[in-house]
């Protein structure tokens, strides 16, 4: 009788340890997803700082992108605007991965209201992505210059 009680106690303990391990794995996935959102926020704020530093070109729409910049295919050019966009594109690639789904889009109007959209694959940032979430994530930042 004593041996059966010990076996049941060991079984209950094993199930509890497996539950803690599953909880730890889920917490790590959510932490990786949080890091991705933080990196996307930092990337959007970095281009906003560049837009504020070069306000005349931003108001003229020179930074606006008709199609999203793809981080796996950053193109170079000449001039301040082209260099800022290239640096931002490579920044996106470094922070969020070089997948085709990592993109950035800028849209500023003449009154100084800008919308920055950073799209990335959450599963590329540190592994499996958040629990119950989508692998495709978009961060939209709206700010005034």
pLDDT in tens, 50-99: 999 999 999 999 999 878 888 888 888 888 999 999 999 988 888 887 77
User: Is-contact 8 109, C-beta < 8 A?
Assistant: no
**Which residues, 6 or more positions from 109, have their beta carbon under 8 angstroms from its beta carbon?**
61
- Least confident range from 1-5, 84-88, 111-115, 116-120: namely 1-5
pTM comes to 0.76
- Provide mean pLDDT across the span 102-123: 91
End-to-end CA distance of the chain: 76
Say how far apart CA 106 and CA 101 lie, in whole Å.
Answer: 16
**Which residues, 6 or more positions from 107, have their beta carbon under 8 angstroms from its beta carbon?**
64, 65, 114, 115, 117
Say how far apart CA 103 and CA 87 lie, in whole Å.
Answer: 13
Residue 130: which pLDDT band, with cuts at 50, 70 and 90?
low
Helix (H) or strand (E) run with residue 85 in it: helix 80-96
- Provide mean pLDDT across the span 139-143: 94
User: Is-contact 137 119, C-beta < 8 A?
Assistant: yes
The pLDDT score that the predictor gives to residue 135 is 76
The pLDDT score that the predictor gives to residue 66 is 79
Percentage of the chain with pLDDT > 70?
A: 92
For residues 104-136, b (16+ Cβ closer than 10 Å) or e, as one string? bbbebeeeeebebbbbbbbbbbbeebbeeeebe
């Amino acid at each position: 009788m004593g041996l059966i009680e010990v076996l049941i106690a060991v079984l209950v303990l094993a199930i509890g340890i497996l539950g803690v391990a599953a909880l730890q794995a889920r917490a790590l996935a959510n932490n990786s997803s949080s890091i991705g959102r933080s990196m996307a926020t930092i990337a959007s704020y970095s281009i906003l700082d560049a837009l504020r530093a070069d306000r005349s070109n931003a108001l003229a729409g020179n930074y606006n992108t008709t199609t999203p910049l793809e981080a796996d295919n950053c193109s170079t050019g000449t001039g301040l605007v082209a260099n800022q966009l290239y640096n931002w594109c490579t920044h996106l690639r470094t922070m969020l991965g070089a997948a085709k789904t990592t993109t950035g889009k800028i849209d500023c109007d003449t009154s100084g209201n800008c919308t920055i959209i950073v799209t990335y694959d959450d599963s590329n940032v540190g592994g499996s992505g958040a629990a119950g979430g989508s692998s495709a994530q978009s961060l939209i930042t709206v700010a005034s210059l």
